[in-house]
């Protein structure tokens, strides 16, 4: 209908799942879903690291080497 919308965003702005109710194009919907999925993944990784560090700290272990993690994952058939 000829209306123009100006979008002003903050440097650290992130999309909200509620935006999916307002977007019109499938391209916009796909991009929003993609960013939300990436954000959830990053949050899950951060939480996993915090939980691992907390568990290691309870056993007085400062850190473990990536190759040890890979070995355990392989042994447990998780990767």
How many residues in total does the chain contain? Answer: 79
Please indicate, yes or no, whether the overall pTM of this predicted structure exceeds 0.75.
no
pLDDT single digits (tens) 17-50: 999 999 999 999 999 999 999 999 999 999 998 9
- Asked if residue 40 lies in contact with residue 46, where contact means CB atoms within 8 angstroms, the answer is no
């Amino acid at each position: 209908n000829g209306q123009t919308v100006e979008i002003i965003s903050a440097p650290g702005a992130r999309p909200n799942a509620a935006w999916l109710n307002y977007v019109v194009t499938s391209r916009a919907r796909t991009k929003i879903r993609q960013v939300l999925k990436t954000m959830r993944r990053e949050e899950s990784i951060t939480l996993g690291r915090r939980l691992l560090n907390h568990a290691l700290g309870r056993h007085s272990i400062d850190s473990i080497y990536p190759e040890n993690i890979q070995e355990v994952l392989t042994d447990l058939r998780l990767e």
